[in-house]
Amino acid sequence: MGTGQPSPTARGTFPGFSEEAGLDLPALTPRLEQQITARLISRDFDAWATTAARVGHCAKPIRLRGHSQTIDTRTGEVLSTFSSADAPLGVLHVRCGNRRASECPSCSRVYAADTFHLIRAGVTGGKGVPERVSDNPLVFATLTAPSFGLVHGTRNGRPCRPYTPKGLPAVCEHGGATVCHATHNEHDELLGQPLCRDCYDYRGHLVWQWWAPELWRRFTITVRRALARHLGVPESRLPDVVTVQYAKVAEYQLRGLIHFHALIRLDGPKTDDGFAPAPAGATAALLAQVIEQAVPGVTFDAPPMHDGDPIRRLGFGAQLDVRPIKTKNRTDDPDRELVPEQVAGYLAKYATKSATDSTKENPHLRRLRATIAEISDRIDADAREDGTPLRDNPYGLLGKWRHMLGFRGHFSTKSRRYSLTLGRIRGRRARFQRLVAEANRQGRTLDVRDLDDLLADDAQEATLVIGHWSYAGSGWETEGDAELAKAAAARAREYAQWRAAAFKAK
């Protein structure tokens, strides 16, 4: 990696990717080393390697025992049977399906790819979404969190905070500076850290994060209301004229606060199959204007966390970015336009991250988690004192979301009619695999020219799979196996990247 364009050697093999090439394993403890060695020389290594390859080198596969039959729905004939006892290791392994790259690199890549396709389908059509959807007005918006105190930042190569903000002394009451003349590079550990942690409003920060999903909900309502006003229809009749669809992801900033990135699209009237053309007058420019005007007015009065805590009026930060997306029929604002692939890739990447993936451990994050613990203790004490159950306190579960720094929303969500669902994408993949297996069994070529028809979810599927399965555990037998699987997944990925690069170079 990172050594430039790989090239074939004289023998036609490729450096680093041949059968003999080693795996890049992380620094190993003696125990891990012993486990890995034991696996490599074990008699069932081939069975293990086959199993690992079948689950795409998932780091923590789920083990199932049982059996299933594939039945032809027209004739009732049993086409095939499968039992976990026939699997190479005598038990069926299936992917863990984890979204997070830090948990399972392999499954998170599948998740990212699926997310990419479903986000892209909502922009350009495809995968069962009509192409005409690309004519509908579409913008990419980033909604930010407000400031809870001065933090260090890169500022595009300019000095961090050269001036003391208006109304603040040059030195805070804790003896900390309110200016920073340094120019931070992107790897600087200070990035996102407060200039003074004692000045930073940790409680306000956490209350905002806790209610961020509510702010988003209010934002969508405000946008619909404003649209109704602009189009001159009563709000209750808006769905007869225009509907708002979106796909959004939450991304952690270095300061431990999330931002929302969203694709927001205007469709025509609500219909059963969705994606109707937007009415005349509903343009990307109007949508962008409506969003820009709506955001500052979105507020929520957050209830106190415990006795003596104030009510806080929450809103989004002043930083707001709204841009039209370029699709084949639109050229609203060429300078600020984004390409669909860019945006879909961007959103898909963030969908696989979490609090701990995007930010390194540091005193600021520790303080955030300590504040959550402190608040939770206080809430518990209040509950014990006056006997109100924890579930009645809107912050009763805050402690449970400590690892997410208090964000309890979903990382990637979309409205019902934005595009297809992850479930449908997975269904298409399963059908594809079944079609391939069927073609192999009958010894014929799979005609991929009408693949879209073949993969369309059809209630009258020709085959039905009936199975009885029970959970037998999760994860590989040893930590060593998990490390081997991860290393193999990384190698497979490097190979895919190398192949893609080699292809391009031709």
The site for Zn ion (CB under 5 A) is made up of 58, 95-96, 104, 107, 152, 160, 172, 174, 176, 180, 182, 196, 198-199
Q: In the bound complex, what is the minimum distance in angstroms from residue 198's beta carbon to Zn ion? A: 4
Q: SS3 of 106, please?
A: helix
Q: Residue 255 or residue 323: which is nearer to Zn ion going by CB?
A: 255
Q: d(Cα 390, Cα 396) in Å, to the nearest integer?
A: 5
**In this structure, which amino acid lies at residue 123?**
V
Closest CA to 411 of 351, 331, 455: 351
Nearest distance from C-beta of residue 186 to Zn ion, angstroms: 13
CB nearer Zn ion, residue 180 or residue 465: 180
Amino acid of residue 444: R
- Smallest separation, CB 364 to Zn ion (Å): 13
Q: Which among 259, 266, 185 is positioned nearest to 228, based on CA atoms? A: 266
Nearer to Zn ion, 107 or 482 (CB): 107
499-503 long-range Cβ contacts below 8 angstroms, 24+ apart: 501/5, 501/6, 502/5, 502/6
Q: Which CB, 138 or 150, lies closer to Zn ion?
A: 150
Per the CB < 8 A criterion, the answer to whether 296 and 317 are in contact is no
**Least distance CB 109 / Zn ion (angstroms):** 10
Structure tokens at 457: 């979810």
Q: Within the chain, what is the greatest distance between any pair of CA atoms? A: 84
Contacts of 470 (CB under 8 A, 6+ apart): 64, 65, 66
Q: Could you tell me the smallest distance in angstroms from the CB atom of residue 195 to Zn ion?
A: 7
Q: Is residue 269 a contact partner of residue 442, using CB atoms and an 8 Å limit?
A: no
Among left, alpha and beta (phi > 0; psi -120 to 50; other), residue 68 is beta
Of the two residues 79 and 94, which places its CB atom closer to Zn ion in the complex?
A: 94
Q: Which of residues 24 and 198 has its CB atom nearest to Zn ion in the complex?
A: 198
| Min dist. Cβ of residue 118 to Zn ion (A) | 19
Give the residue with the Cβ less far from Zn ion, 288 or 365.
365
Q: How far is the CB of 88 from Zn ion (least distance, A)?
A: 18
Give CA–CA dist 310/303, Å, rounded.
8
Buried b (16+ CB within 10 A) or exposed e, 128-141: ebeeebbbbbbbbb
Min dist CB 203 to Zn ion, Å, is 15
> Which CB atom, from 160 or from 262, has the smaller least distance to Zn ion?
160
For Zn ion, give the closer residue by CB, 244 or 257.
257
**Would you mind telling me the total number of residues written for the chain in this entry?**
506
Q: What's the rounded Cα separation, in Å, for the pair 392 and 360?
A: 34
Residue 173 Cβ, how far from Zn ion at the closest point, in Å? 6
Residue 141, beta-bridge partner list = 262, 322
- Distance CA(470)–CA(342), nearest Å, equals 42
**Which is closer to Zn ion, CB of 117 or CB of 152?**
152
Q: Min. distance of Cβ 68 from Zn ion in angstroms?
A: 21
User: What is the DSSP secondary structure assignment for residue 48, as one 8-state letter?
Assistant: H
